[in-house]
Chain A
Amino acid sequence: KAGVTQTPRYLIKTRGQQVTLSCSPISGHRSVSWYQQTPGQGLQFLFEYFSETQRNKGNFPGRFSGRQFSNSRSEMNVSTLELGDSALYLCASSFLDMNTEAFFGQGTRLTVV
């Protein structure tokens, strides 16, 4: 079956702009979680969605938001981009939660200039 698909793979944006990233989970998976990876901070949890509801949120400012659609596809949005938002954004798909096997996408590498 198809894996987790993240689009776009690479993105360059200017400070102050906003960006939307997309994640299509594995068919049948209802949980999608998002993570930010930076060289300095490592991997950090952003938020998790299940059946269109946000179940948990990490310690990120309100500029980071997300949503999940009825087909389980998820988007995350970052408004008013800052240079420090440059990172690899990864999404993970699982059937129920992180006590079931998680599958990861290739990530979206965002560069803010």
Chain B
Amino acid sequence: KNEVEQSPQNLTAQEGEFITINCSYSVGISALHWLQQHPGGGIVSLFMLSSGKKKHGRLIATINIQEKHSSLHITASHPRDSAVYICAVTNPGDSNYQLIWGAGTKLIIKP
């Protein structure tokens, strides 16, 4: 079993829909990252959180430490949001020097 599990693996939605991507982890963590990867490869950091909730524009990230679960929400989705969204965590056991990655969720927003 992977230490970081994301769901769904693939998600196709219509423009304007509310999107939720889930991340569950089985290890103790120091921090959880949500990242976005567009075709071509470059990765953009969206959020880093260790508790509670963060919001940036149309993106919201939440984390529940007790349940070992995080969600990334996109409100009023737009075709430019189409990308792979990746959840990654740092594990204190690894001295926080590396990220443990989920497999990613491929999101397609249709106009």
Contacts and interface: CB of A to CB of B under 8 A. Distances in A.
Interface residues of A, number: 28
A109 interface: yes
A9 B104 CA distance: 23
B11 interface: no
B41 A45 contact: no
Contacts of A31: 97
A58 interface: yes
A105 B44 CA distance: 8
B57 interface: no
Given A42-B103, A42-B104, A98 B98 contact: yes
Given A33-B99, A98-B31, A101-B48, 16 more contacts: A31-B97, A42-B101, A42-B103, A43-B86, A43-B99, A43-B101, A50-B97, A56-B94, A56-B97, A97-B96, A98-B33, A98-B97, A98-B98, A102-B48, A104-B45, A106-B41
